[in-house]
Amino acid sequence: MSGRTGRRPGNPETREAILTAARTAFAARGFDAASIRAIAGAAGVDPALVHHYFGSKDKLFLAAMNAPIDPGRLLPGVLDGDPERIGERLVRAFLAVWDSPAGMAGVALLRSAVTTEWTARLLREFLVTQVLRRVLQHLDADPAELPLRGSLAAAQMGGLVLMRYVIRLEPLASTPPETLVTAIGPGVQRYLTGPLDGVFPG
């Protein structure tokens, strides 16, 4: 775990107190408004200790929500390359993560987000600040269109996860990943950069 989320060793009780304060702060105020200073205060520790244990606000957030992967490490390789094939590369990278052991942690996270509003908020913050923000700032599209384009892509990817890994609808659940990249990649690409006639006013 420590390699993936950048956690460092430390007093387990102190770490847990920081994580509890972080979960509360991120769920209540959102990622951007929650400050490391306030989280440290709520946990009764010095802000420097939070930095020492977790490295950055991004990493603290990933640890607090038990994120199975760090999009900040995964996404650069997906976003580099032909901008017209980002959809394919996103679906391919996504399936590689969900088909790996991290996918089980992902299913657990989705289950929790679907049943508790508190985890749903953290998942929303995760999608917006850790995934969509990075993907969207890479796209050559009208900035006013980006939030809805990102939501549409997230709905497509979320539905793939829901039906393939959670509901396990066949034949989707046992279709080879590259077949799904070919089938779904262009759909994601259309949402991200393609013409969406009639969707945006003007």
46: left (phi over 0), alpha (psi -120 to 50) or beta: beta
Shortest approach of its own copies to residue 122 CB, angstroms? 10
| 50 or 192: CB nearest its own copies | 192
Task: Considering the complex, state which of residue 2 and residue 174 has its C-beta at the smaller distance from its own copies.
Answer: 174
Q: Which residues bind its own copies (CB under 8 A)?
A: 110-111, 113-115, 120, 123-124, 127-128, 147-148, 151-152, 154-164, 166-172, 175, 179, 182-184, 186-187, 190-191, 196-199
C-alpha span between 182 and 88 (Å, rounded): 7
The distance of closest approach from Cβ of residue 155 to its own copies in the complex, given in angstroms and rounded to an integer, is 4
- In order, the DSSP letters of 12-46 are HHHHHHHHHHHHHHHHHH-TTT--HHHHHHHHTS-
Q: Smallest distance, Å, CB 58 to its own copies? A: 19
Show Cβ contacts of residue 26 under 8 Å, excluding neighbours closer than 6 positions: 34, 61, 64, 65, 121, 122, 125
CB of 121 to its own copies, least distance (A): 9
Q: Toward its own copies, which CB reaches closer, 139 or 163?
A: 163
Distance, in Å, from the CA atom of 111 to the CA atom of 128, rounded to the nearest integer, reads 19
Q: Which is nearer to its own copies, 48 or 169 (CB)?
A: 169
Distance between CA atoms of 37 and 22, rounded to whole angstroms?
11
CB of 89 to its own copies, least distance (A): 16
Asked whether the beta carbons of 88 and 192 are under 8 A apart, the reply is: no
Closest-CA residue to 74 (of 50, 86, 90, 85): 90
